[in-house]
Structures are given as C-alpha cells and as structure tokens.
Amino acid sequence: MVKASAIVDIVKASTPRGLGTFKVEVWGQEPYDYVRIYEIRAKSDTIAAQEGIRRFIAEMEEMPSS
C-alpha cells in the first residue's frame, strides 16, 4: 500500500465555466519516500489533490521492486 500526502497551490482559479490550474506537490511515506510535483487542471483544489495522489500511487506501483 502506498501512503501519500499532498499540498495544493492555485496557479489559476477555476470559474463556473472553466477548470482551474493547480500545482500539486505529493510526497509518500517509506518505502515510497519520493516527492513529485504535478500541474493539474480540475474543478477544485480537492479534486486536484485527489488526482495528484492517484498519479503518485500509479507511478509508485509501476516502480520495480527491490
């Protein structure tokens, strides 16, 4: 299981007619203690955080086992 946390910064706020752009910094706990930064377009910062964590987990699960 990959455990991860995220911090979201607003690059461009979303509007009722368009998606916002968010910088999502995601970091994992051992043995996946890496940091990744994603730029994500989403309706809200919460959705951007969830997507960032989803991408991080997918990336970590693809890494070869030691």
Q: How confident is the model at residue 64 (pLDDT cuts 50, 70, 90)?
A: confident
Q: Reduced to 3 states, what is the DSSP secondary structure of residue 6? A: strand
Tell me, what's the pLDDT at 66?
Answer: 56
Predicted TM-score of the model (pTM): 0.91
Q: Is the pLDDT of residue 15 over 80?
A: yes
Q: Give yes or no for a contact between 26 and 1, defined as CB atoms under 8 angstroms apart.
A: no
Q: Give yes or no for a contact between 6 and 55, defined as CB atoms under 8 angstroms apart.
A: no
User: How many Cβ atoms sit within 10 Å of the Cβ of residue 12?
Assistant: 11
Q: Provide mean pLDDT across the span 7-32.
A: 97
Tell me, what's the pLDDT at 42?
Answer: 98
* Residue ranges of domains in the chain: 4-62
Q: Is the pLDDT of residue 65 over 80?
A: no
